[in-house]
C-alpha cells in the first residue's frame, strides 16, 4: 500500500510537490526538516491531498502521471 501525495508550500502557495510514500506522516516530517533538496527551498509544507492506493504499481504510475503537464492540470482543476 502506497500514498500518492501533493504538498503545497505554506509560504509560497503556488509551489507544489508530488511524491510517493508508504509513511505519509514521516515523509511530511522529512520534507519540513529539509531532508529533500527538491523541497527544502519552499519549506514549510502541508498536504494538499493524499490518496492511498493498495497496488504499488498503480500508485507509481499515478505519481508519474501527476508529474506530467496534464497531471499538473488535473491537480489545479480538482484540488486547488
Query: Could you tell me the domains of the chain?
Result: 2-79 (3.40.1440.10)
Confidence class for position 27, pLDDT limits 50, 70, 90: very high
Closest CA to 3 of 68, 71, 70, 49: 49
CA 67 – CA 7 distance, rounded (Å): 12
Quick check: 66 and 18 in contact, CB under 8 A? yes
Predicted pLDDT of residue 73:
97
pLDDT digits (tens, 9 = 90+) for 35-71: 999 999 999 999 999 999 999 999 999 999 999 999 9
Amino acid at each position: 500500500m502506497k500514498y500518492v501525495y501533493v504538498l503545497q508550500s505554506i509560504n509560497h502557495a503556488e509551489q507544489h510537490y508530488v511524491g510517493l510514500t508508504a509513511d505519509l506522516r514521516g515523509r511530511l516530517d522529512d520534507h519540513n526538516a529539509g531532508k529533500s533538496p527538491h523541497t527544502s527551498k519552499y519549506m514549510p509544507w502541508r498536504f494538499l491531498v493524499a490518496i492511498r492506493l493498495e497496488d504499488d504499481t498503480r500508485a507509481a504510475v499515478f505519481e508519474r502521471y501527476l508529474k506530467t503537464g496534464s497531471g499538473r492540470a488535473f491537480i489545479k482543476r480538482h484540488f486547488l
